Chain A
Amino acid sequence: MKEMKVDPIKDGTVIDHIASGHALQVTEVLNINRFQIVMIGLNLSSNKYGRKDIVKIENKELSESELNTIALISPSATYSIIKNFEVVRKSKVTMPQTIEGLIVCPNPHCVTTVERVPTRFAIETDDPVTVRCEYCEKSYGISEVRIRIHP
């Protein structure tokens, strides 16, 4: 059995069990800025999922609501908050009820498209994930919408 391929961190946030191939999208959605130390592991072996991705962010404790947005990309993800090399909190991401500002409404006639109003989507079903725009009221499968990447 090989040792951990990614170094442990002293303080920060570890996001584990990300569906394989989705780690980069997770870092983009979380708006992790380039001055933070971020370690990304892709396609690591996992007993439960076969393959998984992992993201470690040094010196940054992400909020629960930020972390829960990961559920949109990978509902299987878990996170741990690390302080002085100890896990002080560990949880599975939970699907939020609404998502603000993150999803782009695909409807060209929606007010969020026409007037550049920040979007707000309600989560209608968890598995598969479907979302409904709270403005134009159209619902979409999660694969039909684009997640807005922060500049």
Chain B
Amino acid sequence: MQNLISIRDLEKADIVHYLETATRIESGEIVPDMGDQLAALLFFEPSTRTRFSFETAMKRMGGRTLFMDGTTSTSAKKGESFADTLMTISMYSDIIVIRSAVEGSARYAAETVDIPVINAGDGANQHPTQALLDLYSVRKTQGGLENLTIGLIGDLKFGRTVHSLVQALASFSPRFYFVSPPHLRMPEDICTDLTAHGGQYTEVTDPESIIGELDLMYVTRIQRERFADPEDYERVKDSYVIDSSMLKGVKTNFKVFHPLPRVNEISTDVDGTEYAYYFQQAKNGVVMREAIISILLGDAS
């Protein structure tokens, strides 16, 4: 049974296969037909973008979706076990997409049911479909994945998208700059994994000092609630806002990425520049998810 649970499960060749399939779907070379397939979207945690892009992907391929809003659904309230909910849903559908705050829930789901499972985010752990769409966007804008210089900026401690992205790019000889407030630094185990796979990183606190070297900058939101002291937040928040004045002197291939939603960490005056890529990045999520679903349901040839 094929599943997509964690970027850590994927070999370099698997990643390339996902990206190639998305490219071939986007170009029209492959037209997956999900006419008789039904995807169950189990969202135990609120999400707009991820849910919509999975629904869009499935519907564009002619398939249908069932949506279970786990945050208000009845079965858990009646005391049904998570395993029983999963088993029942798997009797109705061909593939399960699961989003939950509980870390490891997608892997547990995959071990419980006999249909493919896609992890659409499990707490602070993994968000592999986001990582793959990010890689797809990187490859589209940079022409490849090897030897890139990438700045990750914002909350690097709790942001699962940056963790998955570092893991996904680790085997492609990247050079990372990690830019964050001191207490929101990239976790040590992610850094260790990165260097073990041949990647490099440098930690800096000022994004302007390195922006000229970057092929792309991946910006994430710094959440006020991560700070114990509100004054600390006020002190650092503006150091991590990207505006158009900072983009003078960047490389010609430079792009700004963001997993969205954004609050104020990228000034809207960047939106109209040639460097803004975040909305296109969100759009790429649909074709990437079409590729993922069709590979897992065996219709990507």
Contacts and interface: CB of A to CB of B under 8 A. Distances in A.
A136 interface: yes
Contacts of A136: 103-104, 122-123, 125
B189 A110 contact: no
Given A107-B103, A135-B104, A135-B107, A115 B123 contact: no
B108 A137 contact: no
Contacts of B126: 137
A138 B122 CA distance: 13
A109 B103 contact: yes
Interface string B82-121: 1100000000000000000111110110000000000000
A111 B101 contact: no
Contacts of A115: 81-83, 102, 105, 108
Contact of A111 (B8, B103, B189): B103
A111 B6 contact: no
B1 to A, nearest CB: 17
B98 to A, nearest CB: 11
A135 B106 CA distance: 8
A50 B226 CA distance: 49
Interface in A94-151: 107, 109-112, 114-115, 117, 133-139
19 contacts: A109-B101, A109-B102, A109-B124, A110-B102, A110-B103, A110-B104, A115-B82, A115-B102, A117-B104, A117-B108, A135-B104, A135-B108, A136-B103, A136-B104, A136-B122, A136-B123, A137-B104, A138-B189, A139-B189
Interface of A: 107, 109-112, 114-115, 117, 133-139
Interface of B: 6, 8, 81-83, 101-105, 107-108, 122-126, 189
Ordered nearest first, which 10 A-B pairs have the shortest CB separation? A135-B104, A136-B103, A111-B104, A136-B104, A111-B105, A111-B108, A109-B103, A114-B102, A139-B189, A109-B123
